[in-house]
Chains A and B, each alone.
Chain A
């Protein structure tokens, strides 16, 4: 598939999960394709980085579900800050462990999973839909993290075969498998598409994070995570990221996004 074909299968108002973490191995080629599309009113679930910052700044997001939004080497995403400080963006800000638990619940087809994180904090005040659950064995009260079912998941890995088997080559899988398990439609971009034998030979079996029942479409997109990192293929392009952050002070969103999308 192409990134444009992936976005062609999405619709206004969908809940879209975006893999990676902060400014690490984000499916930026797919994010760019959303920026070029007329899609809007998305609910985005993400361990947020420039993916969430860009989609919010472009007015694509009605609701953001996240534990944090950070560019890692730059603490705060200034675009996300601007959108939040203007008001009007609906947010569900939760503990980052709750996000994982909500994805797990969706992947297990459970309505909720219990977790301790969030108890006694303002996460409950800020998300009035959250409920507590009493343990039937001990009476202990825990937070009932609701499932976070996704209409679509977008993830980027290092290596895949044409069927959707895929592996990460860096040190951290992040939560990309959980995003796929939680989603109805699952789209994977990758640095290189190889045949299955080459994919399997490229590393240990436990690095094969996704199998083909977890993926509906594969996009070959070398550099497709840039400017976020995709080790060992490439590190974060700090200069490009700084330009993204600096643009928030100096330029309008339109002039930044025009030059950003022209780079392809």
Chain B
């Protein structure tokens, strides 16, 4: 079996949780959700997963299916977990800068936005309390900008405190982290078939490219699992 690009992305998202132990995984979006469920079924069996509403799931179900419950996690208790720190969130990002500052609030001036988005949501609290990663399904200069319009998620250059832990950024092209000079984005790996030049052309600022490898291809058993978790291949619509 040859993994598709979407499946490479799912495996890269699963790898985000590899060493997390017994914490709450909070993936936002389809590919990170598949990644967290794949991790739970392979390398990270102790992860806690929620149904996205108020129930902790005892098993990682396929998309659209239910699973037995193992606990209760209404929104108010999610805020408790955020403050407690035993959580790894994978958020989306309308904009992301080279220090990992993220914007999901609005585009343009905040008093009169060109485009109103969600609002800062839980991004400020997430990023100063526990491990945070990002998923960007369309890696482009529109997302990777020199400066975000609103800092919703806190980056490495803003005195973010002792619990700040920006882990990685997974995109449809590559995996990045924040170990570049001065806590800037560094290109860790490009997905099979993607060149470093392509990633640079789709990024609106310079990246540290001193040590780039190829993103690992998921193994046979992982590909089979991904296809069972997402039998309708919704992942291919998010990452063609």
Closest to B155 in A: A120
Q: Report yes or no: B118 in contact with A123, Cβ–Cβ below 8 A.
A: no
Query: Counting CB contacts under 8 A, is B114 at the interface?
Result: yes
Q: Give the contact-size bracket for chain B.
A: 35 or more
Closest to B160 in A: A120
Point out the residues of chain A lying under 8 angstroms from B110, CB to CB: 91, 93, 122, 126
Query: Counting CB contacts under 8 A, is A162 at the interface?
Result: no
A3 to B27, CA, bound (A): 39
Point out the residues of chain B lying under 8 angstroms from A4, CB to CB: none
Given contacts A66-B119, A120-B161, A121-B153, whether A85 and B83 have CB atoms under 8 Å apart is no
Query: Counting CB contacts under 8 A, is A244 at the interface?
Result: no
Q: Report yes or no: A117 in contact with B105, Cβ–Cβ below 8 A.
A: no
Query: Counting CB contacts under 8 A, is B154 at the interface?
Result: yes
Q: Report yes or no: B74 in contact with A173, Cβ–Cβ below 8 A.
A: yes
Q: Report yes or no: B129 in contact with A116, Cβ–Cβ below 8 A.
A: yes
Point out the residues of chain B lying under 8 angstroms from A122, CB to CB: 105, 110, 120, 150-152
Closest to B114 in A: A85
Closest to A84 in B: B116
B128 CB to nearest A CB, Å: 5
Point out the residues of chain A lying under 8 angstroms from B119, CB to CB: 48, 66-69, 93
Query: Counting CB contacts under 8 A, is A171 at the interface?
Result: yes
Q: Report yes or no: B115 in contact with A173, Cβ–Cβ below 8 A.
A: no
Given contacts A84-B116, A126-B150, whether A120 and B158 have CB atoms under 8 Å apart is yes
A101 CB to nearest B CB, Å: 8
A70 to B160, CA, bound (A): 27
Query: Counting CB contacts under 8 A, is B111 at the interface?
Result: yes
Q: Tell me which residues from 84 to 135 in chain B have a Cβ below 8 Å from any Cβ of chain A.
A: 105-106, 110-125, 127-129
Given contacts A121-B151, A121-B152, whether A67 and B121 have CB atoms under 8 Å apart is yes
Given contacts A97-B83, A173-B74, whether A117 and B129 have CB atoms under 8 Å apart is yes
A95 CB to nearest B CB, Å: 4
Closest to B163 in A: A116
Q: Report yes or no: A97 in contact with B122, Cβ–Cβ below 8 A.
A: yes
Q: Mark A98-135, 1 if CB is under 8 A from B, else 0.
A: 10100000000000000111111111011000000000
A84 to B54, CA, bound (A): 31
Given contacts A81-B116, A171-B55, A172-B53, whether A119 and B151 have CB atoms under 8 Å apart is no
Q: Give the contact-size bracket for chain A.
A: 35 or more
Choose one: A66, A80, A174; the contact of B75 (CB below 8 Å): A174
B32 CB to nearest A CB, Å: 16
A171 to B76, CA, bound (A): 12
Query: Counting CB contacts under 8 A, is B226 at the interface?
Result: no
Q: Report yes or no: A118 in contact with B161, Cβ–Cβ below 8 A.
A: no
Point out the residues of chain A lying under 8 angstroms from B124, CB to CB: 95, 98, 117-121, 123
A117 to B117, CA, bound (A): 20
Point out the residues of chain B lying under 8 angstroms from A187, CB to CB: none
A205 CB to nearest B CB, Å: 15
Closest to B102 in A: A121
Q: Report yes or no: A119 in contact with B82, Cβ–Cβ below 8 A.
A: no
A118 to B112, CA, bound (A): 21
Point out the residues of chain A lying under 8 angstroms from B55, CB to CB: 171
A247 CB to nearest B CB, Å: 17
Query: Counting CB contacts under 8 A, is A21 at the interface?
Result: yes
Q: Report yes or no: B128 in contact with A119, Cβ–Cβ below 8 A.
A: yes
Point out the residues of chain B lying under 8 angstroms from A125, CB to CB: 151
A125 to B106, CA, bound (A): 14
Given contacts A96-B125, A98-B125, A100-B79, whether A171 and B120 have CB atoms under 8 Å apart is no
A120 to B128, CA, bound (A): 8
Query: Counting CB contacts under 8 A, is B197 at the interface?
Result: no
Q: Report yes or no: B116 in contact with A67, Cβ–Cβ below 8 A.
A: no
Interface residues in chain A, defined as those with a beta carbon under 8 Å from any beta carbon in chain B? 21, 48, 66-70, 75-76, 80-81, 84-88, 91, 93-98, 100, 115-123, 125-126, 170-175
Q: Can you report 8 residue pairs joining A to B where beta carbons are below 8 Å apart? A: A67-B122, A85-B115, A95-B124, A96-B122, A115-B125, A120-B161, A125-B151, A126-B110
Q: 7 shortest A-B CB distances, which residue pairs?
A: A117-B125, A87-B112, A171-B54, A121-B124, A68-B119, A84-B116, A95-B124
Q: List 11 additional A-B contacts (Cβ < 8 Å) besides A67-B119, A97-B83.
A: A68-B120, A69-B116, A84-B116, A85-B116, A119-B124, A120-B161, A121-B123, A121-B124, A121-B152, A126-B150, A172-B75
